[in-house]
C-alpha cells in the first residue's frame, strides 16, 4: 500500500516486504493461506506488522505480555493501511531458574529469542516488528532480532512490578534470595522466612529494582528503540495500556519514514545508553548485552567504552540492590524522560540521536517533568552524586587478560586483597557458607561457569544473596567467569576473560592463594609467581564438557567470550 507522505506528491510504499507474498500473482497458495486466516480482499494491500511477545504463564515478568500484545494488535489494526499478526517466542525466568542447573539456559535464551524473531519475521516478510519483552534476556534478544532484520521496529517493555510487603517492610525478588543467607545463619525465623517468600512477588511485571530487566529497559529507551516512558511505566498501570494503544500510529510513522534500527542505534546512541546505565547504577549484564546489540548493527563498541564513560559519569540513582528505591518510585517522579531532560540540560547526552518516534531524543523529552531535587531523592543532582564515577569498572590483569566487569557501589570499598577460596560451581559455594569454609577476608572464586564452561554463563545471584544474608557481603569478595544478576551487590567481579575452560588463569587458582582486586587502578591479579603458574598450567586437566548434545552443546560450540558480548552469530 502506498501513502502520500507529509502532504508531498511522492508516495511511500509501506508493504515493501509483505508485497512479495500478497501481490505476486504466481503465489496463489500463499494468498489462499491468508484468506484462510481471515484476510479480506482489502487486507492484501496493507503493510503487515509482526507483533512478537515472550508471553508465557510461568513467570510474573511474562505472564501478561500476551494481553499487551493483543492491545498492540488492536492498535495496529485500527491504523489505516496496517494489519497486525501476533507470534510468540520463548522466555526463561531468571528468578525461578537462579541457583539451579536450569540457569544455564538463561543467556542462551537471548540467542533463541533473536533467532526466533529473525526466522519468523524473515520467512513471513513482515514490514515492521513490535516486540513485547518482559524478563532480562527478552529485551536484548528482541533488539538483536529486530536489528538483524533491520526493518521499522519498536520495543514495548512489559513493565516493572509493584513492591511486595511483609510486616511493614517493602520486598522484592532479592528479599527472597537474601532470606536464604539469613536462614542459614539463624537470623530469621522459619515463619518469617516463609512470610518473605510468600509476599515478595505481588503480581505481574519484571523485578522491581534497578536489576537487569529495568536496566535494559531504560538503556533501550535511551537508545531510542522504545517509546518515551516505556521503561518506567508500571506493568499493571493504565500508562502501560495507553502506551500499547499508541503503537499503531508510531509503527506507521516509522514505516512511512522508513526509519530502521540501524538509523537509530548509532555509536552516539549507545554512548547515551551507557551513560544512563552508569547514572542509575544498573546491572553488569548491560555490558554483555549492549556489546552484542552493537555488534549486530555494526557499531564498534568495546568494554573500554564502558570504562571511558564510567570515568565521567557519576551514579545518581539510589536504586536497589545497593540503594533504597525501585522502578515504581522512578515512575512517580517523572520516569526516565525526566532524567534524560536533566542530563541533556547538563550536557551529558547526545540530544540529536534519532528515536522510534521519528524525533530526536531531545525533542522527545522537551516537555517532560523537571526533576525536583528538594522534593525527592530517588535521583540525586550531579553536584551531590551517590558515587563520583560509574559503578561498573572494567578490570584487567593476569586473572583477566581479556578483561572483567566489576560492580563497585563504593559502599564495599574500592580495593580488596584476600585469600582465595575456590569453588567449582555455585552449589559448592553454598555448601562453603553452610559449613563455615568461607571466612571474612576471603576472595571466593566460582569457576567453570563461563559461556563455554557451564555452558551458558549462569548468574550468581544465589551465591551473592547468600553472602549478603550471611553477613559477609562487606568482608568477602567474589570473582567468577560466570556473571551476576542485576540484583547482585557486594564486592564482585564477573565476566572474567578468558574463562577457566578457555585457558584463563582463574582455572589455576588454589585455596589460600592471594588475590588482589583494585577498582581504582582497575587491576585484578593472582599474586603467584610465574614459575608456579607455569607449573600449574602444565599439570592442568580441563574438565569434561558438561553438555554433549542439545541447545547447550550447540551454544558452547559457537559462543564468543564475554568481552565480545557472548554472541553466537559472528
- Per-residue pLDDT tens digits for 382-437: 999 999 999 999 999 999 999 999 998 777 778 999 999 999 988 899 899 888 89
SS (H, E, C) 90-147: CCCCHHHHCCCHHHHHHHHHHHHHHHHHHHHHHHHCCCEEEEECCCCCHHHHHHHHHH
Which residue, 241, 257, 322, is CA-closest to 487?
322
Quick one: average pLDDT of 461-486?
A: 86
Residues 156 and 271 reside in one and the same domain? yes
Quick one: average pLDDT of 243-255?
A: 98
* Predicted pLDDT of residue 2: 58
- Indicate whether 8 pLDDT > 70: no
- Please give the helix or strand (H or E) that residue 560 lies within, else none: none
Which residue, 103, 5, 114, 100, is CA-closest to 54?
114
Catalytic residue among 18, 75, 313, 485: 485
Quick one: average pLDDT of 22-46?
A: 98
Residues 357 and 456 reside in one and the same domain? no
E-strand spans in 108-247?
A: 128-132, 153-155, 164-166, 169-171
Residues 284 and 400 reside in one and the same domain? no
Q: Is 530 annotated as a binding residue?
A: no
User: Does 169 reside within a domain?
Assistant: no
Among residues 348, 365, 382, the one where a domain terminates is 365
- Per-residue pLDDT tens digits for 209-222: 999 999 999 999 99
- 485 noted as active-site residue: yes
* Predicted pLDDT of residue 3: 54
Distance from C-alpha of 562 to C-alpha of 570, rounded to nearest angstrom? 14
* Predicted pLDDT of residue 366: 98
User: Does 187 reside within a domain?
Assistant: no
Residues 314 and 228 reside in one and the same domain? yes
* Domain count of the fold of the chain: 2
Q: Is 136 annotated as a binding residue?
A: yes
- Indicate whether 4 pLDDT > 60: no
- Per-residue pLDDT tens digits for 538-567: 999 999 999 999 999 999 999 999 999 999
Range of the domain at 428: 393-564
Residues 405 and 354 reside in one and the same domain? no
- Indicate whether 256 pLDDT > 70: yes
- Per-residue pLDDT tens digits for 93-130: 998 998 899 999 999 999 999 999 999 999 999 999 99
Q: What percent of the chain has pLDDT over 90?
A: 86
Q: Is 244 annotated as a binding residue?
A: no
Residues 397 and 353 reside in one and the same domain? no
Q: Please report, for the domain that includes residue 495, its CATH number.
A: 3.50.30.80
Alpha helices in 442-549 (DSSP H): 461-469, 530-539
Residues 96 and 154 reside in one and the same domain? yes
The CB-side HSE value for 127 (13 A sphere, CA atoms) comes to 31
User: Does 59 reside within a domain?
Assistant: yes
Residues 228 and 350 reside in one and the same domain? yes
> Quick count: other Cβ atoms within 10 Å of Cβ 531?
8
User: Does 379 reside within a domain?
Assistant: no
User: Does 288 reside within a domain?
Assistant: yes
* Predicted pLDDT of residue 469: 81
Q: Is 137 annotated as a binding residue?
A: yes
- Per-residue pLDDT tens digits for 179-198: 887 888 898 999 999 999 99
* Predicted pLDDT of residue 9: 45
Quick one: average pLDDT of 467-493?
A: 85
Residues 356 and 402 reside in one and the same domain? no
51 strand-pairing partners? 86, 130
User: Does 193 reside within a domain?
Assistant: no
Grid cell in block for residue 410: 563504593
Among residues 346, 365, 384, the one where a domain terminates is 365
Residues 239 and 317 reside in one and the same domain? yes
Q: Do the strands 392-397 and 477-480 form a parallel or antiparallel pair, or are they unpaired?
A: unpaired
Residues 326 and 466 reside in one and the same domain? no
CB 264 within 8 A of CB 355: yes
User: Does 284 reside within a domain?
Assistant: yes
Q: Is 45 annotated as a binding residue?
A: no
- Work out the mean pLDDT of the chain and round it to a whole number: 95
Quick one: average pLDDT of 304-333?
A: 96
* Predicted pLDDT of residue 1: 58
Residues 426 and 546 reside in one and the same domain? yes
User: Does 385 reside within a domain?
Assistant: no
Amino acid at each position: 500500500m502506498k501513502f502520500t507522505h507529509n502532504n508531498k506528491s511522492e508516495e511511500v510504499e509501506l508493504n515493501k516486504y509483505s508485497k512479495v507474498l500478497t501481490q505476486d500473482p504466481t503465489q496463489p497458495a500463499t494468498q489462499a493461506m491468508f484468506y484462510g486466516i481471515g484476510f479480506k480482499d482489502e487486507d492484501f494491500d496493507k503493510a503487515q506488522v509482526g507483533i512478537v511477545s515472550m508471553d508465557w504463564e510461568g513467570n510474573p515478568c511474562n505472564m501478561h505480555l500476551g494481553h499487551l500484545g493483543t492491545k498492540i494488535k488492536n492498535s495496529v489494526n485500527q491504523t489505516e493501511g496496517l494489519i497486525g499478526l501476533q507470534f510468540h517466542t520463548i522466555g526463561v525466568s531468571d528468578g525461578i531458574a537462579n541457583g539451579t542447573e536450569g540457569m544455564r539456559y538463561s543467556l542462551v535464551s537471548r540467542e533463541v529469542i533473536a533467532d526466533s524473531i529473525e526466522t519468523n519475521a524473515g520467512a513471513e516478510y513482515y514490514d515492521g516488528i513490535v516486540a513485547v519483552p518482559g524478563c532480562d534476556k527478552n529485551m536484548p534478544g528482541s533488539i538483536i532480532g529486530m536489528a538483524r532484520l533491520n526493518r521499522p521496529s519498536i520495543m514495548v517493555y512489559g513493565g516493572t512490578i509493584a513492591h511486595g510487603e511483609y510486616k511493614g517492610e517493602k520486598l522484592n525478588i532479592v528479599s527472597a534470595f537474601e532470606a536464604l543467607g539469613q536462614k542459614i545463619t539463624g537470623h530469621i525465623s522459619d515463619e518469617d522466612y516463609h512470610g518473605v517468600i510468600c509476599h515478595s512477588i505481588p503480581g505481574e511485571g519484571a523485578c522491581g529494582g534497578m536489576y537487569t530487566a529495568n536496566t535494559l529497559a531504560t538503556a533501550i529507551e535511551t537508545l531510542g528503540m522504545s517509546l518515551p516512558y516505556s521503561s518506567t511505566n508500571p506493568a499493571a498501570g493504565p500508562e502501560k495500556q495507553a502506551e500499547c494503544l499508541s503503537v499503531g500510529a508510531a509503527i506507521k510513522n516509522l514505516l512511512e519514514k522508513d526509519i530502521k534500527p540501524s538509523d537509530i542505534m548509532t555509536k552516539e546512541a549507545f554512548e547515551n545508553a551507557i551513560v544512563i546505565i552508569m547514572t542509575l547504577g544498573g546491572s553488569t549484564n548491560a555490558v554483555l548485552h549492549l556489546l552484542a546489540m552493537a555488534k549486530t548493527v555494526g557499531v564498534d563498541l568495546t568494554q573500554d567504552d564502558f570504562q571511558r564513560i564510567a570515568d565521567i559519569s557519576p551514579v545518581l540513582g539510589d536504586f536497589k540492590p545497593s540503594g533504597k528505591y525501585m522502578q515504581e518510585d522512578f515512575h512517580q517522579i517523572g520516569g526516565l524522560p525526566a532524567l534524560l531532560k536533566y542530563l541533556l540540560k547538563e550536557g551529558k547526552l547526545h540530544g540529536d540521536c534519532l528515536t522510534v518516534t521519528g524525533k530526536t531524543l531531545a525533542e522527545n523529552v522537551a516537555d517532560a517533568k523537571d526533576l525536583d531535587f528538594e522534593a525527592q531523592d530517588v535521583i540525586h543532582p550531579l553536584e551531590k552524586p551517590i558515587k563520583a564515577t560509574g559503578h561498573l569498572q572494567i578490570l584487567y590483569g593476569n586473572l583477566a587478560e581479556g578483561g572483567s566487569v566489576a560492580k563497585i557501589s563504593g559502599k564495599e570499598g574500592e580495593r580488596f586483597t584476600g585469600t582465595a577460596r575456590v569453588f567449582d560451581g555455585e552449589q559448592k559455594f553454598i555448601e562453603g557458607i553452610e559449613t563455615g569454609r568461607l571466612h571474612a577476608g576471603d576472595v571466593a572464586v566460582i569457576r567453570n561457569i563461563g559461556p563455554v564452561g557451564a555452558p551458558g554463563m549462569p548468574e550468581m545471584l544465589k551465591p551473592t544473596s547468600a553472602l549478603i544474608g550471611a553477613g559477609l557481603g562487606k568482608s568477602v569478595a567474589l570473582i567468577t567467569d560466570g556473571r551476576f544478576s542485576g540484583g547482585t551487590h557486594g564486592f564482585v567481579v564477573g565476566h572474567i576473560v578468558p574463562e577457566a575452560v578457555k585457558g584463563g588463569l582463574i582455572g589455576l587458582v588454589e585455596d589460600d592463594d592471594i588475590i588482589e582486586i583494585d577498582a581504582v587502578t582497575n587491576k585484578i591479579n593472582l599474586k603467584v609467581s610465574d614459575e608456579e603458574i607455569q607449573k600449574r598450567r602444565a599439570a592442568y586437566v580441563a574438565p569434561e564438557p558438561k553438555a554433549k548434545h542439545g541447545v547447550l552443546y550447540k551454544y558452547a560450540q559457537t559462543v564468543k567470550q564475554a568481552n565480545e558480548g557472548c554472541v553466537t552469530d559472528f
